[in-house]
A and B are shown apart, each in its own frame.
Chain A
Amino acid sequence: MDFGSPRSHAPQALRPLLLALSDPRSAASYDESGWDSLIPVARTARLLGVLAHRVYEHVDRSTLPERVQRHLDAGLTEARYRRQKTLFLLHTITPALSGHAGPWVLLKGAAYVAQDRPLGRGRLPTDVDLMVPRASLDGVEHALKSAGWVFEKTEEYDQHYYRAWSHELPPMVAAGQSMELDLHHTILPPIGRIKPDTARLFSDAMPVAGTAFHVLCPHDQLLHAIVHLVHDSDFIGRLRDLVDIDAMFRALPLTDADARAALIERARLHDMEKPLRMAAMLCRGWFETPGCEELISDTVTAGDSFFYGERVITLANRVLGPANALDGSERSRRRAGKLLEARSHWLRMPPWLLAYHTASKGVRSLAQWATKRQGAATG
């Protein structure tokens, strides 16, 4: 795969990493000092395994300095371990799911691992996202509880928040599992500003051979990765999500006019044309992903909007990278982070709920503080 060369939107300190990801052959010419600045940045961005995978595909491992090899190997070792943990989790929950109406759809990292997609190689998943039909949700939840899974957040408000307004239940953990399990019934909060066609997500899902699980169809996988980053996150330190999107654009390939048209049509179905356009703008700026230019002009009718336009991209460019490879003053980055955080909350829920949620959080933290003080005074 050819990854092109990175453009100017990324911070200076991040360029070597982007270049090495885009054009792994270029890494062959680095000396130890070059690697010394590259590897810590890749590790912090949680991209060391991906970097190692891409470099080893194009460069003879034995030509690299030994100290470099062992850190790249470390990235692969950790990725292999997490992959193993993911497959182990899927294996152990399968019996609990049987008897509950499917399809049981794996999302994001777990899907890439189960399918063994090239973009999953070297990734470091920390949780497994599983989506089941709304009608099966209660049954699956109880079955998982009987199998030893418990909620990490047990506070009543948290439970209520997730159940009433979220697209997933609170994260679940189980003894002997090092991964969290997030149980979804759709991919975005049902009260948010984007309303995906959940029925189509399920009906077009595809089975993964040799497993009891399904994954979203390729377009939906890509669109999910996109809304997860540009709609449902604050962008802070999320470069690895953009790396996934870039890889999926290239795999499509986005340069193909028919493939592009089909993707845009699918995005319209899910009310995701603006996020798609914004993802293309980000990928163009960071990776020069082929086909982004065309996609941006194809979606010109969607236009630039306040929440998915240049202004947001300017802010996102400041905070996307890992904390040890950022440009600009800390103050400007913190300001950008705050604004993006506010944006993601605004997009996630209607204003009345946001006000209620914020107030409720405030009251609870005040109450906690008071209890703690009282405890300290009497204890």
Chain B
Amino acid sequence: MRIAEIPEQLLFHRLSTEGVGIDFGSARARVKTNLPACAASIRTVYGGYFADDPSGMFDVTVDLRRVRGIRAYVRPQCQLLCDGIVDQEPFPLDTSLPLLEWGTNYSLATRLYCYLLLHAGVVERGGRAIVMPAMPGSGKSTLTAALTLRGFRLLSDEFGVVRLRDARLLRMLRPLALKNESIDVIQRFEPTAVLGRRFPKTRKGTVAHLAPQPSHVDARQEVASPALVVFPRFDPAASVELHPVQKARAFARLAVNSFNCEALGPQAFEALSQLVAESSCWQLRYGDLNGAIKALRELLDEAKQVDGPGLLSDKREAVRW
């Protein structure tokens, strides 16, 4: 049963007792909370996900609770327990969902050494992926959100999950966090988009979460092959400009932006080399979402297989700089 279909009272009961299992594709979390407001937020932004049986093995258990003590009377706060340990500063009580999202991402980034985790948004169409590495303020989340509302399937917004043995991109489907102006931009861009409530004054400004569509949730096991690496940059003055990026440079930028490339060592090096070798790499400056989507769609159709598949010689060339 999808989470949105569970009556609110029952969902809260389940979240506050044994928890609810949620499958993101390449990781599973057991989610618990005893805060009714948080349960309501979960029902909106995770509405399309299935409520899985919380028994068995999960990659992380996250439990959002109210902070107790005298201080709670002056300034009520909530805290997140990841596998029973508090390792984040508490948040104000009314920003429980951002804490849940942020803490879950953090715990996954520090636990999942079985994949190369890029800091990138990833969407796919016809089994071919566009990897968009994030630079703060690049408008990556906005562009990812807009693409998923126009026929691309969301694989992930925060983690580009790369399978080590063959450099395929896996799904890490999480609610997409939009910040500040992006929220209105996306709401105007697609009035039917399901956004969670807005949380003002978080450490990253105002945050709202775009709920993944049920059809994206349903394709849990799909993998995509790398086709495009695109470094987006939002520039209100530009319309749409595309510039090619050298593969060696793209490799370096992806590697430094990764969560665990260094720790994984040679395995990550090989996988990332293959990913870059098989992709065509571009810098995108855009001031207009529709124009950017059109350009990326054309680029994806053009990129076919001219740059891959990654032969060894091709790979070596790609990483020499």
Contacts and interface: CB of A to CB of B under 8 A. Distances in A.
A71 B59 CA distance: 8
B67 interface: no
A365 interface: no
Interface in A66-101: 67-68, 70-71, 73-74, 77-78, 80-81, 84
Contact of B111 (A68, A74, A80, A81): A74
B84 A78 contact: no
A207 interface: no
A197 to B, nearest CB: 40
A44 interface: yes
Contacts of A36: 56-58
A32 B61 CA distance: 14
Interface string B31-59: 00000000000000000000000011111
Interface string B252-282: 0000000000111100000000000000000
A interface majority secondary structure: helix
Interface string B219-263: 000000000000000000000000000000000000000000011
| Count class of interface residues, chain B | 10 to 19
A324 interface: yes
Contact of A70 (B114, B262, B264): B114
A260 to B, nearest CB: 39
Interface string B45-86: 000000000011111110000000000000000000001110
Contacts of B55: 33
A68 B114 CA distance: 11
Given A78-B263, A84-B265, A71 B111 contact: yes
A78 B113 CA distance: 8
A161 to B, nearest CB: 29
Given A32-B56, A77-B264, A81-B265, A40 B114 contact: no
A219 interface: no
A266 to B, nearest CB: 38
A325 B83 CA distance: 10
A322 B262 CA distance: 27
B289 interface: no
A32 B113 CA distance: 19
A40 B112 contact: no
Nearest to B82: A40
Contacts of A40: 60-61, 83-84
A68 B58 CA distance: 9
A25 interface: no
B83 A80 contact: no
Interface in B70-114: 83-85, 111-114
A135 interface: no
Interface in B109-133: 111-114
Contact of B57 (A32, A44, A74, A78): A32
A137 to B, nearest CB: 32
Contacts of B28: 67
A43 interface: yes
A356 B84 CA distance: 38
Interface of B: 28, 55-61, 83-85, 111-114, 262-265
15 contacts: A33-B55, A33-B56, A33-B57, A35-B57, A36-B56, A40-B61, A40-B84, A43-B111, A44-B83, A71-B59, A74-B113, A81-B262, A81-B264, A84-B265, A324-B84
Interface of A: 32-33, 35-36, 40, 43-44, 65, 67-68, 70-71, 73-74, 77-78, 80-81, 84, 322-325
Q: Which 5 A-B pairs have the closest CB atoms?
A: A324-B84, A40-B83, A32-B57, A74-B113, A70-B114
